Copies of this chain bind each other. A is one copy, B any other.
Amino acid sequence: MTNRPTISPVDPALETRLRARVDGLAKPPGSLGRMEDVAVRLGLIQNSMTPKVQRALLLVFAGDHGLTAEGVSAYPAAVTTAMVETFLAGRASANAFAEAVQAELRVVDAGMATDVPDRPRLLKRNIRRGTCNAAVEPAMTAAEVESALSHGAALAKGAAEEGFDILALGEMGIGNSASAALVMHCLTGTPLAQCVGRGAGHDDAGLARKQSILARAAARAPGKEPLAVLAEFGGCEIAMMAGAVLGAAAARRVVMVDGFISTAAALAAMRIDPYARDYCFFAHRSAEAGHRLMLDALQAEPLLDLQMRLGEGTGALLAVPMVRAAARLLSDVATLEEVLKG
């Protein structure tokens, strides 16, 4: 197995100190609810009693899926490239949200079928021009999975070195909810039918077709080993996001997980290295059917529940200000003792 980034577990002694600090702030104990947990988790991630959050980066990992040949998506495969062009033009929903929360957005060509011309916000890390049709054969080779993981880890390491405190995960890839459903099924053991949802917008007939195609694929049963599962069913963007989770955790940076597809990538990362879990926030619960169950399997309670199911990192972005607020809670707020002394 290739070298992986080394992830340190967070410090349980620091957790006790952070909790005591939060409890001693000028407010009734517990009155900031889950924001107090966010503050403690952030301190643990940065290994600091006074964590800081300045810059946030959304990486939108793009990839195409051979599975689309089977009709697993309500949208044509060409939409992946059209949407990548839209991100690069600054005109997608994720661009709008990124501006609103002061995050930077960059696009990673992880495995697009089409070569997009060079552009300032485009990071070319293409490992193959779209996956094979996972309905009938493995999506990619073991070497390609390794390459995706390495690229993802290197991107996260580079972002950390550049000064980003938060790495938000986004993705674009027609067909990738099908891929994510298969990954979820293999890694969590959840019955496939409960992992498969409407994705970008299947009607009942489309959903039934997607279920049947994926049942055929799932019969190949690659087991539970995360690298084997990624090779059999993963998308290039899913594997590269998993690598980014590992790389960001190794660099002690916040990973902001988005919806169904990026959670599948985070799940794979956590199966590769369970310590990765400590560095992840789960931004929102997607309206995609399987997401609730995948979060349950991870015992993850997301911060937001807005019935969103777009992907692109839109949910992850909306949780960024909450982490900023949590950082300032620990750094800026007086203790009750200070206040009562006057």
Q: Which A residues form the contact surface with B (CB < 8 A)? A: 25-29, 31-35, 74-75, 79, 82-83, 85-86, 89-93, 95-97, 99-101, 200-201, 287, 303-310, 314, 317-318, 320-322, 324-325, 327-329, 331-334, 338-340, 342
How distant is the Cα of A303 from the Cα of B306 in the complex, in angstroms? 7
Contact of A201 among B31, B83, B303, B321 (CB under 8 A): B31
Closest 7 CB pairs of A and B: A33-B307, A96-B328, A100-B325, A100-B324, A91-B334, A31-B310, A33-B308
CB distance from A255 to the nearest CB of B (A): 19
How distant is the Cα of A90 from the Cα of B328 in the complex, in angstroms? 11
Chain B residue contacts of A306, Cβ below 8 A = 32-35, 303
Q: A26-B83, A28-B74, A35-B314 are in contact. List 13 more A-B contacts (CB 8 A).
A: A26-B92, A28-B75, A28-B201, A32-B314, A33-B306, A33-B309, A34-B306, A90-B332, A96-B329, A96-B332, A100-B321, A100-B325, A320-B321
Chain B residue contacts of A339, Cβ below 8 A = 79, 82-83, 85-86
Q: Is there an interface contact between B97 and A334, defined as CB atoms closer than 8 Å?
A: no
Chain B residue with Cβ nearest A338: B91
Q: Is there an interface contact between A340 and B82, defined as CB atoms closer than 8 Å?
A: yes
CB distance from A204 to the nearest CB of B (A): 16
Q: Is there an interface contact between B26 and A100, defined as CB atoms closer than 8 Å?
A: no
The answer to whether A333 and B29 touch (CB under 8 A), given A101-B321, A342-B85, is no
How distant is the Cα of A35 from the Cα of B93 in the complex, in angstroms? 11
Chain B residue with Cβ nearest A102: B102
Q: Is there an interface contact between A93 and B201, defined as CB atoms closer than 8 Å?
A: no
Q: Is there an interface contact between B309 and A31, defined as CB atoms closer than 8 Å?
A: yes
